[in-house]
């Protein structure tokens, strides 16, 4: 016997956001070497070129802990290109021998083990790029900050989010589509970093991504202003709830 699908009813959905409150400058979410917002921003202040630093986050510990080959390839690519970076990794990860020491001594990189103030880092004027697995929270935080996404999905909805950004919105540059099972080649990562972070002259598709990133940050800001689409959605929801209570 065929069982009919449940009636979805086309119920109304309210799009609210993006919303990301400022973190306190002294905030520290634990971990032996977790960094405060003030410390990280002080390090980023040293970079005169706006949007010259890349932020790398390993959501769900996939990039760092479960697949050491992914982390090793990225570490080598960072050294070969010489890009400035902030890398938030889980405490248990083992990076290539001497990588952290060389990055710190050279003044071009910092590795954060444990919690990192991601929202505040993305909002800093030195940050121009975000290597992310494309979890939706990180996507919204990056879009609201006007930081260009380097998409590296690993699992689940991250692939859908990344395809939306890359193929539909043209607002991100793909790093690798291999997910958890396939680590990218170091040469491939170097090409991505050189064509985006290192590259000074953008044209073609990369120019489109840069322009679209600027458009999205403006749209995000407009949505949460008084009278914006997010503002109106909250007011409409409040009106409906009041009517239900009568």
- Note the pLDDT tens digit of each residue in 74-114: 999 999 999 999 998 877 777 889 998 998 888 899 998 87
* Number of domains the chain contains: 1
Query: What is the distance between the alpha carbons of residues 233 and 88, in angstroms, rounded to a whole number?
Result: 35
> Residue 194 in 3-state DSSP?
helix
Q: What is the mean pLDDT of residues 47-75?
A: 75
Domain of residue 188 covers 37-200
CA distances from residue 184 to 90, 137, 174, 221 in whole angstroms, order as listed: 20, 24, 12, 35
Domain-embedded: residue 22: no
CA 44 to chain centre: 17
Query: What is the distance between the alpha carbons of residues 110 and 118, in angstroms, rounded to a whole number?
Result: 14
Domain-embedded: residue 242: no
Domain-embedded: residue 234: no
CB atoms closer than 10 angstroms to residue 150: 24
Domain-embedded: residue 91: yes
Domain-embedded: residue 85: yes
Q: Which pTM does this prediction carry?
A: 0.84
Domain-embedded: residue 237: no
Query: Residue 45 is part of a domain; what is its CATH number?
Result: 3.40.50.2000
Domain-embedded: residue 12: no
Domain-embedded: residue 120: yes
Give the pLDDT score at 5: 57
Q: What is the pLDDT of residues 176-212, one digit of tens each?
A: 998 888 888 999 999 999 988 887 555 566 778 888 9
Q: What is the mean pLDDT of residues 17-36?
A: 60
Element (H, E) at 131: strand 127-132
């Amino acid at each position: 016997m065929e069982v009919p699908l449940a009636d979805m009813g086309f119920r109304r959905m309210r799009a609210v956001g993006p919303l990301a409150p400022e973190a306190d400058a002294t905030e520290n979410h634990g971990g032996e070497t977790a960094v405060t917002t003030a410390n990280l921003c002080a390090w980023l202040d040293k970079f005169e070129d706006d949007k010259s630093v890349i932020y790398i986050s390993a959501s769900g510990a996939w990039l760092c802990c479960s697949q050491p080959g992914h982390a090793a390839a990225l570490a080598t690519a960072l050294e070969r290109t010489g890009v400035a970076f902030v890398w938030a990794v889980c405490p248990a990860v083992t990076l290539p021998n001497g990588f952290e020491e060389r990055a710190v001594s050279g003044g071009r990189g910092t590795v954060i083990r444990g919690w990192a103030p991601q929202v505040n880092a993305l909002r800093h004027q030195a940050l121009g790029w975000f290597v992310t697995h494309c979890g939706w929270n990180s996507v919204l935080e990056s879009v609201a900050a006007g930081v260009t996404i380097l998409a590296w999905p690993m699992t689940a909805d991250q692939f859908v989010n990344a395809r939306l950004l890359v193929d539909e919105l043209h607002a991100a540059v793909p790093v690798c589509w291999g997910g958890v099972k396939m680590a990218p080649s170091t040469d491939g990562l170097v090409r991505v970093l050189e064509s985006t972070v290192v590259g000074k002259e953008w044209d073609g598709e990369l120019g489109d991504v840069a322009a679209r990133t600027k458009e999205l940050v403006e749209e995000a800001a407009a949505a949460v202003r008084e009278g914006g689409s997010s503002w109106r959605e909250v007011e409409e929801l409040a009106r409906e709830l009041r009517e239900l209570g009568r």
